[in-house]
Structure 1
Amino acid sequence: MPSNRTVWLAAWPVLAVFVLSNTPTPLYVLWQRELGFSAGVLTVVFACYIAGLLGALLVAGVVSDRIGRKPVLLPALGLGIVACVLFATAGSVLVLAIARFLAGLAVGAAVSAGMAAVNDVAPRRTRTAALASSTAMVLGAGLGPLLAGVVSETLPGPTVTIFVAEIVLLVSAVIVVARLPLPRPRGSERTWIRIPQVHPDGRGAVLRGIAVFAPGITATSFVLSLGPSVLTGLVGSTNRIVAGALAFVMFLGATGIQFAVRGLPVRAILLAGATSTTASMAALIVSLQTSSLVLLTAAAVLAGTGQGMGQFGGLTLINAAVPANRLAEATAAQNVGGYLPAAILPLAAGFLSDATGLAAGTTAFGIVVIAAAVAGGLVAGRRDRPRPQPAASTGLPNCAEYSR
């Protein structure tokens, strides 16, 4: 039987792909200077990433449950390598957009098939698999911009060297996936491409996860897309290490908080996540009014902890409630619900900032996300009603046990 060590090894491909997901963040200022595009266009490029991710989620979860994790993960890692080549050679906004789209496809597959693979090798359906998947995602997402900032400031080829290193990382992930002892698929005959459908036992779990995860990841998406522009406007800094470090501390907070709260009831974790996202947006708005770098950093960290708790809480509920042969699809459904507003709202904020100024666009964005986080907290805070049949009938822990 696979050990917990195998569980964490299975999370390595998820980490490797998510390093790629945010590597471009501190490099946008270079591409903007070289290619000459506005904040609105920058958020379009970022939205291409989320479009690719959502497209993959419509396919990867279903296909992974039906034919297995490896046939989905290995091509996805290959697309990540192609995206690295395009980033390293980008000479136009179009090439950047295509690279971001391909990176989104790779990440979408890792979110669904990769996280399900982590659960597949877990000795038991415990929180360990959810913790390994979720921390690999947020730690990788934070390491990418930090490494990109440091490498681009200290080594030759500021938009090339980091992507060569990422190719090496993705190749190592291919080796790990090829050697993982994954079970054969147990999926039923269903359509190949559709909006992810959730097993009836897990619908409440997915809804509660989305309610907190969506505002949290929307807040972090703003920091990743427009954060460097806000940083430049706030303190006049174009240093890519600073921009990368801002994203890193955000996801470091997202990683650390999951270990800190892993022993708490899921309901408490989700409520804390909604509260953290609300505080993040309040700090972001005030940071612009007071030109405070400290408050901007606090906003980033609180956004990360909000996303981290929403993601971990949601995954824990899903792992407890959904049968193994529908797990990837349920995970994909939670991420579709989270990433849709994470694409739309920062995109709207980017174009609004072009029209009215960065401060006004950011303030409007923050108010909308605060409203969503408060509503999410109300949804996540409701208590479960007793289920009519015992949990043993599905062979899985009762979801209510995790939320007490």
Structure 2
Amino acid sequence: MKGVDFVKARFLMVLLFSITIVTFAISYDLLKLVPQDSSFVFLLSDNAKNYDELKNVPLFSTLLTDLGLELMVQQQLEVYRYSQNIDLDSFYKFFSRDMVLYLTENGAGLLAGPFEDPQKVANALSQVLKLFEVSVSPMVVENCVEVYLSDSTVEGKRGFSIPENVLEKIPSNVWGMYYENSEELMEAYGWFAVDGKTVKGQGTSRIEDKSLKEAIEKTPGLVSLKSELIFPDFAFVATVPGDVLETILSNLLTSDEDTNEIVYTVLDNMGNYMILSGNVEFVMEEEQQNIVMWRLIRLNTRLEKSEFEKLMKENGYHFENGEWVSLIEGQTLRFAFDEKRSEILMSLEPLDAVRDNLKKTGIPISDVMNRFSIPDSYRGLAFVDTGGLLEKFIGMGVDSYFTLTVHQDGDTIVSEFTLQ
């Protein structure tokens, strides 16, 4: 795991913390086994207890219990217990204690424990992974089990420490936390916890660049976009300098040569905001119910219309019905330029139809801000109507939603999420 793949892996781990320690005593023991040169660690504590509490959250109660996903997995594993003579009790123990995921320049690893008989746990885990053709070899390290998630192995000294000034800011009742300090990214840390019927968490990133801090402070907050329409099922809105948006979005890039020139040029000329939103509809076509996904991305840009059109032509896009169209990996990708707003529009559906649907079904960003008491000065928000989507797809209604907000606090960027 080198270069871009390594950075993307770290970024995905942070996204995992954002969409999902009673005491850190045991996790501290695990940290003693983590490589000193780790740039990212993600800790989970007392998984068995916290998993039971997670089932009190409406969304997970519906999925795991009412829909029967937990029972389905257990029944499948029980088949393997008898047909493959697998020690399932030891396998379950691997997930019941503390865990630490770590990332280094050489790769990634996962530690779990401590266990009374770590070898039995390692053997059981290996048996189950082989059934699913996962080629990793669990190893016993002291009284814990370690799994390498890449081809490389741990080199150098073990024994990782999280700064005391960071630990002091972590609540005492959290399930998990992460810490990152690398050359490519700023120091960052965060946590999440189950609190009754809610999962909540917070992440903090330090701004080292004074000019970047000043640029963020000068950029208007969400108040500047309150009247803009978004689709009601899911949305992401950010109002930060283009350099920051470029850094965030570039971590999500693939190595697709057909799209990278366009994407990099767009990112290099990002303006001060982006709006992404979507909506799911079920429509009847020829006596068959089909899913229609309405999605729209709006990027504020510093590009001129002539520069944008030149970029489209040079990359093989053709102009039809007011939009630039190309077929990429079997999907039709559509672009348009809104000269009045200095925006680039992107969608997989015809943009005229998307905009018409947005006018009919969209809600102003202020509706989300008012519902969840999000201050005008905040820099970003994400919203997912998880309950509504669940009802659309499986017909089971549940009062559930996900929100994420981002704001500046001095020389730090703070993100907070809630999943109910």
Q: Which has the higher contact order (CA 8 A, sep 6+)?
A: 1
TM-score normalised per structure 2: 0.26
TM-score normalised per structure 1: 0.27
Higher helix share: 1
Larger Rg: 2
